[in-house]
Structure 1
Amino acid sequence: MQVAAELQHTHHHQDTPMCRQIQLTITDHTLSQTTAVAADGASDKLDGEDLFIPPLNFAMVDNGIFRSGFPEPANFSFLQTLGLRSIIYLCPEPYPEANMEFLKSNGIKLYHFGIEGHKEPFVNIPEDTIREALKVVLDVRNHPVIIHCKRGKHRTGCLVGCYRKLQKWCLSSVFDEYQRFAAAKARVSDQSLD
């Protein structure tokens, strides 16, 4: 379930904001429906494309660098607000046609690094693949860029962790950030950044 918020200003004399009305949007992906809940508790069904819904596990990593889970068509309006130049896709599967059309129509370049997702521990991500993906992240000509895998947890977390190491973060902070996104499924093998 995802929640998006939309702010609406209520103006008083001379265009000064008096209060803000917040509209929450709750998306239940299992039911394929979107419900808007206004501040007064009233709710309406809304078309998901008209809302700004971030992808699963969306977060800002640094100026011009974002991370998330796999973007669905309902997330495209939100992604347009970021003015993306590039997407780093870390899964081996081909990018879906709807996503390719979104990239094409918005002039976004896709960098596809097919890293297998492994459920068992002690399976390492290839260093050369991470190195090539880091080159894309570090090149500001690719910014704004979003890094994503399926859920925005392990593969994305490993790449972001390597980026953090280049930023001279201490390892405990790198691991803390990784675990915030990976939750209880943090893999010991993914936490070897030396």
Structure 2
Amino acid sequence: MKISEAAVAEEEEGARPILERREEPLMGSVGGDAHLIPPSNFGVVDVGIFRSGFPTSDNFPFLEALNLRSIVYLCPEPYPAANAEFVRSQGIRLFQFGIEGSREAFATVSNHAIMETLGVLLDVRNHPILIHCKRGKHRTGCLVGCFRKLQNWCISSVHEEYIKFASVKARPSDMRFIEMFDVSCMMQCVLHILYQYHGCGNHTRRLAYQKIS
């Protein structure tokens, strides 16, 4: 995983977020401004978690309105200069997890890599957060699918959401990967995060995590 210069090492054990907590965006006001253009395949995953295709400069005002604290970038290529400058200027943390865009890319991705990415996603100190790849279909869809399994969604609903964003480009191999992902490997991370942040102000997670016996 690569982290941008904005994401300097956090202070001591129990470190505080690098940035001060800002007010959460009001999605109604964002959506109501005709001059704000969302990235392709944009969607709301959960409170403070968004997904999309690759943002362009036309989308920067929209992203600024989201008041993002972090971005998870799922491609191996370097972040374009314009995007990197936008991230720097906004004080956004950039987490890069390079996953190839081939049809069988997730066949070579380790559970540890997925766990690490989900760990970033679950940590409310990183919210509001945007997940994106190139088109917001396959790599983003697989990560969100694994996240949904942590929320104890039934697999048919997980697949339905994946297909909604992937459309005619839906890949059976991606859906198999999501179905085979073992959520039990994430429970220690989940329990640690819940122990630290459950009940903290407005950021209490309203997620129905799967109980592992």
Counterpart residue number, 1:130: 114
Q: Deviations over 1:111-133 (max 9, x none)?
A: 00000011368845432221111
Structure 1: which 5+ runs fail to align?
Answer: 8-22, 24-50
- Residue 177 (str. 1) matches residue 161 (str. 2): yes
Give the one of 66, 69, 72 matched to 2:50: 66
Give the one of 89, 92, 95 matched to 2:73: 89
Letter of the structure 2 residue corresponding to residue 112 of structure 1 = Q
The count of residues paired between Structure 1 and Structure 2 equals 149
Letter of the structure 2 residue corresponding to residue 153 of structure 1 = K
State the alpha-carbon separation in 2 of the partners of residues 120 and 162 from structure 1: 17
**Between the two proteins, what is the percent identity of the paired residues?**
62
Does the CA-based 8 Å contact 1:86-1:146 persist in structure 2?
yes
With the length of structure 1 as denominator, give the TM-score of the two structures.
0.72
- Residue 149 (str. 1) matches residue 149 (str. 2): no
Q: Deviations over 1:128-186 (max 9, x none)?
A: 22111100000000000000000000000000000000000000000000000111121
Q: Which has the larger radius of gyration?
A: 1
Give the one of 132, 149, 155 matched to 1:165: 149
- Residue 54 (str. 1) matches residue 38 (str. 2): yes
Counterpart residue number, 1:15: none
Does the CA-based 8 Å contact 2:42-2:50 persist in structure 1?
yes
With the length of structure 2 as denominator, give the TM-score of the two structures.
0.66
- Residue 112 (str. 1) matches residue 96 (str. 2): yes
State the alpha-carbon separation in 2 of the partners of residues 164 and 181 from structure 1: 14
Counterpart residue number, 1:14: none
Q: Which has the higher helix share?
A: 2
Give the one of 126, 139, 148 matched to 2:123: 139
Question: What secondary structure does 1:147 align onto?
Answer: strand
Does the CA-based 8 Å contact 1:121-1:189 persist in structure 2?
no
Letter of the structure 1 residue corresponding to residue 172 of structure 2 = V
State the alpha-carbon separation in 1 of the partners of residues 108 and 166 from structure 2: 16
Counterpart residue number, 1:80: 64
State the alpha-carbon separation in 1 of the partners of residues 156 and 32 from structure 2: 35
Letter of the structure 2 residue corresponding to residue 180 of structure 1 = K
- Taking only aligned residues, the RMSD between alpha carbons, in angstroms, comes to 1.9
Question: What secondary structure does 1:66 align onto?
Answer: strand
Question: What secondary structure does 1:88 align onto?
Answer: strand
